[in-house]
Amino acid sequence: MIDIEAVMADFAVRQAQRQAQVVEEIQQLKTVILPRLQEAGIARVEIRFDGCGDSGAVEECACLDAAGAAIACPDVTILEDEAGNSDGDGSAELHSLGQALEQLTYLALERHHPGWEINDGACGELVIDVAEATFVLDCSLRFIATDDHSTEL
């Protein structure tokens, strides 16, 4: 027979561990990403996402210079262990800066808006102000609402 209380307690522990891991990975990615953006002369990054119907994706990642002109995301690599998510077997895979920005967005959504891709979903953007070293996640959650009334006359 299944002990539902033990299952729920185990689930809660694993969820707390995952949340702690996500917070740590976000901080490590922020630490790695900022200097790369500064070196490339990028002043602002706008990462747009959209989700619904049980799927979602980062749709666009725009890098802007100080004048607001679009510039290409630099083709620089980041070692996986540098970003804090090495699998511990000694191998360190290479990822592009663009992939790191995308991963940061997915982690931020997991941390602050889990289920952002479910049902009517959510859309928004993660904005990075490089000079101010700020990361702001703007998320618009979509839902269908009804306002039902029943009146006996």
Q: Could you tell me if residue 39 is inside a domain? A: yes
Q: How many domains does the chain have?
A: 1
Measured at the alpha carbon of residue 73, what is the angle toward residues 70 and 75, in degrees to the nearest 5?
Answer: 150
- 48: number of Cβ within 10 Å: 17
CA distance 98 to 78: 10
When pLDDT is averaged across residues 5-33 and rounded to a whole number, the result is 95
Q: Is residue 147 part of a domain?
A: no
Q: What is the pLDDT of residues 29-55, one digit of tens each?
A: 999 999 999 999 999 999 999 999 999
Q: Answer yes or no: is 46 within a domain.
A: yes
Q: Range of 55's domain?
A: 4-141
Query: Does 100 fall in a domain?
Result: yes
What does pTM read for this prediction? 0.85
Inside any domain, residue 123 = yes
- Quick one: pLDDT band at residue 95, thresholds 50, 70, 90? confident
Q: pLDDT by residue (tens digit) across 119-146?
A: 999 999 999 999 999 999 999 999 898 9
Task: Provide the sign of the torsion angle of the four alpha carbons 26, 28, 29, 34, taken in this order.
Answer: positive
Sequence-distant (6+) residues with CB within 8 A of 79 are 92, 93, 94, 95
Answer whether residue 150 is part of any domain. no
In a domain, 54, yes or no: yes
